[in-house]
Amino acid sequence: MKKLLVLIGFLSLGWAVNAQQELLLSQQYFSRINKNPAGIGNVEDVDLFLLGHYQYAGVEDAPKTLLFNAQTFISQINSGVGITFSHDNLGITRSFTNAKLVYSYGLRINDEMLVSLGLSMGILGTSFDAAEYIFEDDTEWGDLEKEVGDDLDKHVRFDMDFGAEFSFRENLLAGFSITHLTNGESLTLRTGRHFYWYARYLFNINDKWDIAPMLTYMHHEKTNVLELNVTAFYNRFIWGGLTWHPDMSDGFGTNPLAITLGAEYKRFRLGYTFDYAFGNVSRLAGTSHELMFSYSIERKKTSTAASQEDFFE
């Protein structure tokens, strides 16, 4: 139903054009290939990953994101292969659908160091429906309503990502990627290039506990988002973490804080994140929810497999 105020509509458009057009999802480090095609771990199982993100809980027509990844590693050719599909509904007017094939090649430096280079290619479908704007006060917004019009604009274009990832033992992971290489600068129906850097280190406290701090930085035109995350794992069975991801371009005026809980049983993994925004947009943003589910399908292992599974899990 079209009951949102026009103010929210233009905020949605403004954030999409001038800010980042991709979400930093709190649990995507478990399956990173939608942000970095080099992020296929050396695990010969087939990993299926599903994640849903719902922003601004309680606000009608709020943005929603659905992400599906499938990946595996073929040790005989030192390569990872996968597919990634995502759909972002940015609110009342705009949506993005992204589908790509993913490939990575692993260069083993020695028994403890590995460098992976990845490339993904596919399509990016965008949609802008101006008819979804509802102006509740025609007197004040009448002229602007005529300019917006009621056209439905859809485009499908080629899309490509590139990335690199470095790992040392099962403790250190660092990566860099550029998404939407072929899209250039952001426009209403163009996402523009996004640059990502991240690093994560796993501290083995004892036989039961591990702690993994992670730093992620995203740059897109005038937007700079920092993400600080700390996750604790108990017996590689349950985990919990905190994530702080302020918008540095806004003078740290927006400060979302997320709490994540998850558990793994046999080949199933389930995680939930509750995100609350503090700062300038907290009254509008409210809370967000993120639910993650993954399942690993066992494949026959070979003796040449170089596993990083302990780190990624």
Write out the DSSP string of 49-92. EEEEEE-STTSTT--EEEEEEEEEEEGGGTEEEEEEEEEEE-SS
Tens digit of each residue's pLDDT, the chain (313 residues): 333 332 233 333 333 334 445 766 778 788 899 999 999 876 779 999 999 988 776 666 677 889 999 999 998 899 999 999 998 887 666 778 999 999 999 988 888 889 999 999 999 888 776 665 554 555 444 454 444 455 667 788 899 999 999 999 889 999 999 999 987 665 555 678 899 999 999 999 999 999 999 999 988 887 888 889 999 999 888 999 998 877 676 666 667 788 999 999 989 999 999 988 776 655 555 578 899 999 999 887 654 444 444 444 4
Q: How many Cβ atoms are within 10 Å of 119's Cβ, its own excluded?
A: 17
Token readout for 89 is: 């509904």
For residue 94, the SS3 value is: strand
Residue 83's beta-bridge partner residues?
70, 101
Block residue for tokens 């101006």: 130
Token readout for 286 is: 């409210």
Whether 80 contacts 103, CB under 8 Å: yes
Give the separation between CA 220 and CA 21, rounded to whole angstroms.
9
- The pLDDT value recorded for residue 43 is 74
Give the separation between CA 266 and CA 295, rounded to whole angstroms.
9
Block residue for tokens 């302990």: 310
- The pLDDT value recorded for residue 27 is 80
* The residue count for the chain: 313
- The pLDDT value recorded for residue 157 is 87
Asked whether the whole model's pTM tops 0.75, one would answer yes
CATH numbers and ranges of domains, the chain: 6-312 (2.40.160.40)
Q: Burial, 93: exposed, middle or buried (Cβ in 10 Å; 0-12, 13-18, 19+)? A: buried
Q: Which residues contact 303 (CB under 8 A, 6 or more apart)?
A: none
| 216 closest CA partner among 191, 241, 185, 195 | 195
Backbone angles phi, psi at 7, to 5 degrees: -60, -45
Q: Taking the chain, what is the end-to-end CA distance rounded to the nearest angstrom? A: 41
- The pLDDT value recorded for residue 189 is 58
Residue 157's beta-bridge partner residues?
124
Q: How many angstroms separate the Cα of 206 from the Cα of each of 172, 253, 255?
A: 17, 39, 33
